[in-house]
Structure formats: C-alpha cells, structure tokens
C-alpha cells in the first residue's frame, strides 16, 4: 500500500509545505521500518520533495506500475522482497527510462556498497541518514537525470 507524506502523521504545517512544493521531481521511498519511513519522509518534505512510501520491494514494483518516479530510495534488507532483488527487476522492466535508485541501508560493511552497485543501484546512503547526505544524493540524481 502506497502512503503519501499526508499519511505518515506529520504536522499540519509540514503537510501544507508539501502541498505547496513546486518540485515535480517524484521520489519513492521503499523502507520496511515504520519509524525510519516516517523520519525519512519528514526529511524529504523538509527538502521540498514530493514522495510516496511503501514497505517492501513488491510494493515498490506495484507503485511503479502506476506512477513514474525519478528517484527510488531503496532499503536493502526488507521482508518479502529485498532491495537488491527489487532493483534487479526494476532494471529489467524499466531498463531505458527507469529511475535512479539510491540504496539506504544499515549495512555499511566493506563490500556492501559494491553489492548494491552490482545490483543496479546508482548510489548508496548508510543509515542513519543525515539530511545533508540525503540532499546531496538526490541532487546528484537530479543532475544525472
């Protein structure tokens, strides 16, 4: 089930700023942990981006069937379908016009970044995610798009 920033329990002031955002850049957040999902959505709203959120790779693929996204922030370890498998499928289905995919993961060991890139991800953000790092990763994708 797709949730929007309006469904994650943010304050009225943030809801209004999201509605007034002039950004047409669309982001899909794929994160199974409700707390991480809420915090990341609040950061995206603060940065002025429109975003949808889903809880796993299967839901991400379903969301992408109905909406075009410019960037997918993809958690790596999730139930049902992990981020690596979801990324491989996205690259197969939307090979020429697919979104930029940025891994977001608590796994920051040597070799983890390489596994994400080999799966077809374009970037890598270790958790906890810092606002400036998130901004920089998205801005890099905007320039590359």
* Residue pLDDT, tens place only, 37-76: 999 999 999 999 989 999 999 999 999 999 999 999 999 9
The maximal CA–CA distance of the chain, rounded, in angstroms, is 42
User: Torsions phi, psi of 131, nearest 5?
Assistant: -55, -45
Determine the average pLDDT of the residues in 119-140.
93
- 103: β partners: 74, 124
Q: Is the pLDDT of residue 13 over 90?
A: no
Instruction: Record the pTM.
Output: 0.83
In this predicted structure, what is the pLDDT of residue 28?
A: 98
Bin 14: left if φ > 0, else alpha if -120 < ψ < 50, else beta.
alpha
Write the CA distances from 43 to 26, 94, 97, integer angstroms: 14, 27, 26
CATH 3.40.50.2300 fits 5-137, yes or no: yes
- What is the end-to-end Cα distance of the chain in Å, rounded? 27
The H-or-E segment that residue 101 falls in is: strand 100-105
């Amino acid at each position: 089930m797709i949730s929007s920033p309006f469904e994650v329990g943010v304050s009225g002031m943030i809801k209004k700023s999201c509605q007034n955002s002039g950004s047409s850049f669309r982001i899909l957040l794929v994160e199974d942990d409700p707390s991480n999902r809420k915090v990341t959505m609040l950061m995206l709203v603060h940065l002025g981006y429109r975003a949808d959120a889903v809880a796993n790779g299967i839901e991400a693929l379903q969301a992408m069937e109905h909406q075009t996204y410019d960037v997918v922030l993809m958690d790596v370890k999730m139930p049902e379908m992990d981020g690596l498998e979801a990324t491989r499928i996205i690259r197969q289905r939307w090979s020429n016009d697919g979104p930029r995919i940025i891994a977001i993961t608590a796994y920051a060991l040597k070799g983890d970044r390489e596994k994400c890139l080999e799966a077809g991800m374009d970037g890598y953000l270790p958790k906890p995610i810092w606002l400036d790092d998130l901004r920089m990763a998205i801005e890099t994708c905007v320039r590359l798009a």
